[in-house]
Structure 1
């Protein structure tokens, strides 16, 4: 159907598969940290509790809004140690670590009045009804920006759309060249997304997210996670309950030995660090410091097959 003002002719644009988003009814935003800021703005909290073991980028909205914060500890099961009485008009933020702490999220929802769940590492986990929850698309899929926010608050911010046309070079290079070739562009994109204003998710990212086979991605992640757990459950210092696993971000393998990460990277198995900033926030005797130094987040996403998992298993066993 013709729309007045529509361009007709010209060059052929990029064609992307048409489908459905995973969370079409949620608020569409440009980054996970901005989804966190969105919540802080509409809820007007005066104090935030967050774990020592969390990402530095979550500090951006706190600094921007000048909201005081306090750290709390987690135990060796990655569960929060809430041995304090939350202050009036405060909230507690808890990350669903690697997508394996969904049962903990459910339990927290019955104990904490003002709870914010960071599902940046748990894209496929539905929010608990009534609990503010945000997601990061870039942690799970090849998109230049994108986040979702679930909240039952009726308050909405007036926002303009973000533009991601200049943030795709690392994605294109990963296809035409290699992941390594696009890595510098990826880092530049990460820096460029920092300290940005809250905006709506770009049209480009929404189109890209409509072309993903989410069920296939979820299935592969579950299968790869379970395969690694079968191999490593006997040596993994983290306790993992497989019945709560559904499309996790990575397989968290906790082993002592600072040389393992470098050895894996030398074999072209790239392991992200979660999170270097924790080493600055903690002392050596703290468990969170031990996690930051020794946890290996093994890749399990939809790009990889069981034979890829077997390669990871063999390399770690040799090391």
Structure 2
């Protein structure tokens, strides 16, 4: 069918660039993982206990066995498991702050049998030959989409996904309070859980290609550094990066679940929304102590590009005030 000429306008977006033009594009990072596991004929995938349930669910959905490993409070493996033929190890670049560990320890050790989950590290460049997953919707305003970098050659022909019905919560937040559209956001999350493996939609790709990634990165770097200065003395998690990093969030680890829950609720009352990462880890009977501590005591404080130093100072002030009162 020839391209249309004339008629009404589509949503007009700036022509920019993709940060990973050689990566394969999917409707979600979990779809990218499923396709990767099938393409490589994987029999078993080694995963951390501290991870979103969607990752082991994706492995099981394509018939791949899952083994678990523990991490310490530096978010690094307690022991490096020995991989057998047909096995891969997936490591989460936690909060986008573990680039050095990946490049200096894991990549030299596991080489092409390492899969880096950069769902929390959009601005972490893939290492040569290392399969790397990305989930841009955790960093920018798109409803879906995922990338797989350094995929092996193969038949990656996929049906095209459609995202026209997924933009409601994003557009709604432009015109109203986020609370009004949170249910629509959750509906899209549920739909992605159930979606088959497919290529990224044209609408999501166009939005992603229109973004000013250097500006987004710079703002996140500055916000992370400022919260580190303001709250670092109160943080039990010592993983401050050695260089400016466009992280997912500022991970503030507190002493007890009760304290973390109290701070979260007080921030919510002031319309400061703090996500809960991977609460299912707490109820998992085989979860180690560190992973339970991370799931119950960590507050991922927002540092994204919508906010500047004034917002970060307000956030740090409220956290400090509430901590002093607990």
Q: The TM-score by the shorter chain falls in which range? A: over 0.9
**5+ long unaligned stretches in structure 2:** none
1:38 aligned partner: 35
Are the counterparts in 1 of residues 70 and 288 from structure 2 also a CA contact under 8 Å?
Answer: no
Change (3 A) 1:179 1:125: same
Secondary structure of residue in 1 paired with 2:165: coil
RMSD value over aligned CA atoms? 1.5
1:108 aligned partner: 106
TM-score, normalising length: structure 1:
0.95
Q: Distance in 2 between matches of 1:315 and 1:241?
A: 21
Secondary structure of residue in 1 paired with 2:229: helix
Are the counterparts in 2 of residues 100 and 244 from structure 1 also a CA contact under 8 Å?
Answer: no
Deviations 1:244-267 (A, max 9, x none): 442111000001223121221121
Secondary structure of residue in 1 paired with 2:242: helix
2:311 aligned partner: 308
Please say which of residues 284-293 and 127-136 is displaced more in the overlay.
284-293
Secondary structure of residue in 1 paired with 2:234: coil
2:61 aligned partner: 64
Q: Is 1:209 the equivalent of 2:212? A: no
Q: Is 1:255 the equivalent of 2:254? A: yes
Secondary structure of residue in 2 paired with 1:230: helix
Structure with a larger share of its residues in helix: 2
Secondary structure of residue in 2 paired with 1:49: strand
Q: Distance in 1 between matches of 2:289 and 2:152?
A: 37
Within-5 A mapping of 1:1-319: 5-106=2-103, 107-113=105-111, 114-256=113-255, 257=259, 258-282=261-285, 286-319=289-322
Q: Distance in 1 between matches of 2:317 and 2:109?
A: 43
Q: How far off is 1:6 after superposition?
A: 3.1
Deviations 1:177-223 (A, max 9, x none): 12222211100000011132111110001110111100000000000
Q: Distance in 2 between matches of 1:98 and 1:192?
A: 25
Are the counterparts in 2 of residues 29 and 201 from structure 1 also a CA contact under 8 Å?
Answer: yes
Q: How far off is 1:170 after superposition?
A: 0.3
Q: Distance in 2 between matches of 1:46 and 1:244?
A: 37
TM-score, normalising length: structure 2:
0.93
Q: How far off is 1:152 after superposition?
A: 4.5
Q: How far off is 1:283 after superposition?
A: 6.0
Secondary structure of residue in 2 paired with 1:259: helix
Runs of 4+ in 1 over 3 A off after TM superposition: 282-285
Change (3 A) 1:90 1:285: closer
**5+ long unaligned stretches in structure 1:** none
Deviations 1:107-132 (A, max 9, x none): 20011241100000000000111111
Please say which of residues 149-158 and 47-56 is displaced more in the overlay.
149-158
Q: Distance in 1 between matches of 2:31 and 2:125?
A: 20
Aligned length: 316
